[in-house]
Structure 1
Amino acid sequence: MDNNVMDNNAMGNNLIDNNAYPNLKDLLILFLVVLLFMFGTGVVAAICQLIPNVRITPLIQSFQNMVAYIVGMLATIWYAARKSRKRQAESDTLGLGFNKFPGWLIPVLIPGALAMVVGMDRLSTLIPMPDSVAQFFESLFKNDVFSVMIIAVAAPILEEIFCRGIVLKGLLQNYPARKAIIYSALFFALIHLNPWQSIPAFFAGLFLGWIYYKTRSVIPGIIVHAVVNTTAVLSMFLPKEQQDVLGLLGTPAYIVVFIAAMVVFSAVCWYIQKKMPSGNP
Structure 2
Amino acid sequence: MNQKLPQRIASLWLFFLVYISASIITAAPIIALSFIFDFDNIVLLALASIPANLIVIFYYTRNRFSSAFSGAFASNSINYSAANVGLILLVTLCCIVLLDPVQAFLPLNDWGREETKELLSKPLWGFLLACIAAPVLEEIIFRGIVLKGLLQSNSPVKAIVISALLFGIIHFNPPQSIQAFLLALLIGWIYYRTGDLSLCILVHFINNALSFSLFQITSLKDFDTLYSILNNNTLYFSIELTTLLLFIGGLISLNKLFRLSNNLASNPVTAL
How far, CA to CA, are the matches of 1:133 and 1:29 in structure 2? 26
Map of 2:69 onto structure 1? 95
CA positional deviation for 1:34? 1.4
Pick aligned residue for 1:259 from 238, 241, 249: 241
Map of 1:89 onto structure 2? none
Pick aligned residue for 1:45 from 16, 24, 30: 30
Map of 2:270 onto structure 1? none
How far, CA to CA, are the matches of 1:260 and 1:146 in structure 2? 35
Pick aligned residue for 1:124 from 97, 100, 103: 103
Map of 2:12 onto structure 1? 27
CA positional deviation for 1:20? 5.2
Residue aligned with 2:62, SS? helix
Residue aligned with 2:152, SS? helix
Report which structure shows greater RCO (CA 8 Å, sep ≥6).
Answer: 1
Does structure 2 retain, via aligned residues, the 8 Å contact 1:189–1:197?
yes
Q: How many residues align?
A: 252
CA positional deviation for 1:155? 0.7
Map of 2:268 onto structure 1? none
Structure 2 segments unaligned to the other structure (5+ residues): 266-272
Residue aligned with 1:252, SS? helix
Residue aligned with 2:222, SS? helix
Map of 2:52 onto structure 1? 72
CA positional deviation for 1:140? 5.0
Counterparts of 1:151-190 in structure 2 under 5 Å? 151-190=130-169
Q: Can you list the C-alpha shifts for 1:194-221, whole angstroms capped at 9, x where unaligned?
A: 2111101111111000000111011001
How far, CA to CA, are the matches of 1:279 and 1:209 in structure 2? 18
Measured on the aligned residues, the alpha-carbon RMSD in Å equals 2.8
Map of 2:225 onto structure 1? 244
TM, length-normalised to structure 1: 0.79
Q: Which moved more, 1:71-80 or 1:21-30?
A: 21-30
Q: Can you list the C-alpha shifts for 1:218-263, whole angstroms capped at 9, x where unaligned?
A: 1001111110111111232234434434432211111111112112
How far, CA to CA, are the matches of 2:111 and 2:258 in structure 1? 46
CA positional deviation for 1:271? 0.8
TM, length-normalised to structure 2: 0.81
How far, CA to CA, are the matches of 1:24 and 1:196 in structure 2? 25
Map of 2:126 onto structure 1? 147
Counterparts of 1:217-236 in structure 2 under 5 Å? 217-236=196-215
In the alignment, structure 1 residue 135 sits paired with structure 2 residue 120: no
Structure 1 segments unaligned to the other structure (5+ residues): 1-18, 87-92
* Aligned residues with identical type, % of pairs: 28
How far, CA to CA, are the matches of 2:54 and 2:202 in structure 1? 20
Pick aligned residue for 2:179 from 173, 184, 200: 200
Letter of the aligned partner of 1:268 in structure 2? G
How far, CA to CA, are the matches of 1:154 and 1:51 in structure 2? 28
Letter of the aligned partner of 1:247 in structure 2? S
How far, CA to CA, are the matches of 1:77 and 1:43 in structure 2? 20
Letter of the aligned partner of 1:263 in structure 2? L
Letter of the aligned partner of 1:272 in structure 2? L
Does structure 2 retain, via aligned residues, the 8 Å contact 1:98–1:218?
yes
